[in-house]
Amino acid sequence: MKTKKTPLFEQHNKLGAKCAPFGGWLMPIQYEGIISEHQWTRNNCSVFDICHMGEFLIKADALPSKLDKILTQNLVNMPLKTCRYGFMLNDNAGIIDDVIIYRIEQDKWMLVVNAATSSADFEHLEKNLAKDNVKIEDISNTLAKLDLQGPLSRDVLVEIAGEGILKLDYYTFDYFKVLGENIIISRTGYTGELGFELYISNDKVIALWNLLLKNKTVKPAGLGARDTLRLEVCYPLYGQDINSTTTPLEAGLAGFVDMNKDFSGKKALGKKQEQGLVKKLCCFETDSRRAPRHDYEIFSNNRKVGVVTSGSYSPSLGCGIGMGYIETQFSDIGTEIILQHENVKINAKVVKRPFYKKGSLRI
């Protein structure tokens, strides 16, 4: 498959970005440097090119519809112009994808999905919704997405989209007139900071990108910083921390599953809940600057008890941090573990999530 480029690719080149493939797209990993972009986002405001992610528009007539049955969140009681984070599960309660659901109108929804899973997600939805008088449209090829994240992001957006921005509560959205277009702006993100996601047509995204960067408090940040920012607040990354063989229960994400409604995978999930969890997604800190890495093995008392799914040096904490699945009996907070890979051995300790607790997310 040919690697795709977002409409902003030339802008990234002009800014001297290092680019690399991610989820089938050639994406900017860093501009100035991951650590400085990370710190800038925590203290000021950064803009991220997130055009690779997929967006589906769904017109579902009546509720509870089959759409509601595909997602773990309750769509019936969802207020207009709010967002919810949830999952599509397979029959074994494994996660097909984690998605953000937008309720645009009473019977109109937008689903924001991961780039790498986008086409499989679409097939899954079509297969399950086709007979239910539901229209589903993949608008990813015409809709661009920018994330504006950081404690100063609201001030920046007020200048561009007006004072209406001040009314957006966490996980709500509205339409705003920007560059002559009515665009969706939601108060959502993937950094643990106050932040917004902006959905604008491909034709206007270069102008919006440059307009945002005109503000001296805004700098571009790449997927490298996005990864360290999300890891510090323990947001899972699909394909690493969660996938089609892991369930929301094991991942500690049961709060995004409504067991009071019906959904695909519910039966299997209920059964796993009854049986008790064999493994759990845990957070751990190392005793040095050395970082855990994906696929490092986790040991306790010379026995392999788990595997690392994400890891990095934490710019905010100054030590290595990671997440991984550990057998339940070794998953208590404070448990000492050893991370191993070839001749590397790192001492680490299971800690409470999140690693970084001072985010501006809800200010």
Partner 1 sequence: MNVPEGLFYTKEHEWVKIDGNQAKMGISDHAQHELGDITFVELPAQQTQCEQFKQIATIESVKAASDIYAPLSGKVTAVNNKVVENPELVNQSPYEQGWLLAIELTEESQIENLMDADAYKNYLKESL
In this complex, which beta carbon is closest to partner 1, that of residue 36 or of residue 215?
36
Which amino acid belongs to residue 341? H
- Quote the least distance from Cβ 47 to partner 1, whole Å: 20
- Quote the least distance from Cβ 66 to partner 1, whole Å: 41
Site for partner 1 in 184-243 (CB under 8 A): 224, 228
In this complex, which beta carbon is closest to partner 1, that of residue 127 or of residue 289?
289
Using CA atoms, how far residue 72 sits from 36, 154, 267, in Å, is 37, 30, 12
Q: How many helices (H) and strands (E) does the chain have?
A: 8, 20
Using CA atoms, how far residue 10 sits from 132, 163, 199, 206, 270, in Å, is 42, 32, 20, 9, 49
Choose, by CB under 8 A, the member of 4, 108, 204, 293 that binds partner 1. 293
Burial class (CB in 10 A: 0-12, 13-18, 19+), 90: middle
CA angle 112, 16, 55 (to 5 degrees): 10
- Quote the least distance from Cβ 324 to partner 1, whole Å: 16
Helix axes 34-43, 223-232, angle to 10 degrees: 60
Q: Is 345 in the site for partner 1 (CB under 8 A)?
A: no
- Quote the least distance from Cβ 313 to partner 1, whole Å: 4
H helix or E strand, kind and range, residue 67: helix 66-70
Site for partner 1 in 7-26 (CB under 8 A): 18
In this complex, which beta carbon is closest to partner 1, that of residue 75 or of residue 291?
291
- Quote the least distance from Cβ 153 to partner 1, whole Å: 23
Dihedral angle sign, alpha carbons of residues 146, 316, 297, 308: negative
Choose, by CB under 8 A, the member of 290, 347, 349, 351 that binds partner 1. 290
Q: How many positions of this chain bind partner 1 (CB under 8 A)?
A: 19
In this complex, which beta carbon is closest to partner 1, that of residue 35 or of residue 268?
35
The answer to whether 303 and 130 are in contact (CB under 8 A) is: no
Integer Cα distance of 59 and 132 in angstroms? 11
Integer Cα distance of 20 and 27 in angstroms? 6
Using CA atoms, how far residue 172 sits from 52, 162, 189, 316, in Å, is 22, 16, 12, 28
- Quote the least distance from Cβ 190 to partner 1, whole Å: 17
Site for partner 1 in 28-47 (CB under 8 A): 29-30, 33-36
Q: Name the segment binding partner 1 (CB under 8 A); options: 109-117, 197-205, 289-297, 355-363.
A: 289-297
Site string for partner 1, 242-281 (x = CB under 8 A): ----------------------------------------
Beta strands in 202-267 (DSSP E): 218-220
- Count of residues making up the chain: 363
In this complex, which beta carbon is closest to partner 1, that of residue 151 or of residue 224?
224
Q: Is 162 in the site for partner 1 (CB under 8 A)?
A: no
- Quote the least distance from Cβ 125 to partner 1, whole Å: 34
In this complex, which beta carbon is closest to partner 1, that of residue 29 or of residue 156?
29
Report, in this order, helix, strand and coil percent for the chain, each rounded to 5.
25, 35, 40
Beta strands in 154-245 (DSSP E): 173-178, 181-186, 195-201, 218-220
- Quote the least distance from Cβ 345 to partner 1, whole Å: 11
Choose, by CB under 8 A, the member of 122, 176, 263, 313 that binds partner 1. 313
Binding site for partner 1 (CB under 8 A): 18, 29-30, 33-36, 224, 228, 288-291, 293, 312-313, 315, 320, 344
